[in-house]
Structure 1
């Protein structure tokens, strides 16, 4: 019984920590003449089957015959002193930095990151 409860606890923790944001866009064909060669993304760009790319909004995407699948390429801070600190997202590096609200030069401790 103790082993069973320990397994349930580990499962609950791992589900909480693996909280990446993902989505699947159903297949829209991208044609090259009469041949279907890949997927067309929301911006109208053609991506070949099996290709991978990063969007300007920090999503890691891939094209398959099922469609386009994308997940965030960054981790998000979720456990820090929100009264004293704030999370700032940098789109150039696709990463968060948690700093003091009063002095952005001082970083804050983050207890849990998800993504």
Structure 2
């Protein structure tokens, strides 16, 4: 099989992987974006985040309540915010998230000024 015969499969597979990555990003508290090497003679010097900013290998940073790092394998980000799936909460309580301060607290549903102890 020559290169022109394999191109449609590779292009379709890449589109599939990109779409799969978007689904994971939209429905997850963490994600990993594998480093893509397009030119072996000029390999990347780091990772590029969603805003197009370059980050050197070995670097770590926080943005939008996510702790991110860049390795030679790729870009990895993990949410610093708990969610209802990660915190055991009684039915009288609810999790209140403050994305501005990247914090969360469990409060009484009936009085949001009172703290509520998770189960």
Consecutive unaligned residues in structure 2, runs of 5 or more: 1-28
| Higher relative contact order (CA closer than 8 Å, sequence separation 6+) | 1
C-alpha change, 1:28 and 1:43, in structure 2 (3 Å) is farther
Aligned to 2:54: 46
- Between the aligned partners of 1:106 and 1:78, the Cα distance in structure 2 is 18
After TM superposition, what 4+ stretches of structure 1 lie above 2 angstroms from structure 2? 34-37, 74-78
Give 1 or 2: higher strand fraction: 1
Aligned residues: 85
Aligned to 1:79: 88
Aligned to 2:98: 90
Cα offset for 1:65?
Answer: 1.2
Consecutive unaligned residues in structure 1, runs of 5 or more: 1-20
Structure 1 residues 35-69: Cα deviation after superposition (integer angstroms, max 9, x where no partner): 7321111121111111101111x111101111101
TM-score by length of 2: 0.61
TM-score by length of 1: 0.63
Structure 1 residues 73-115: Cα deviation after superposition (integer angstroms, max 9, x where no partner): 2344522222x2211111123221111122111110113xxxx
Contact 1:40 1:46 (C-alpha < 8 Å) held by counterparts: yes
Contact 1:27 1:39 (C-alpha < 8 Å) held by counterparts: yes
Once the two structures are overlaid, the 10-residue window that deviates more, 68-77 or 46-55, is 68-77
What SS class does the counterpart of residue 87 from structure 2 fall into? strand
Aligned to 2:66: 59
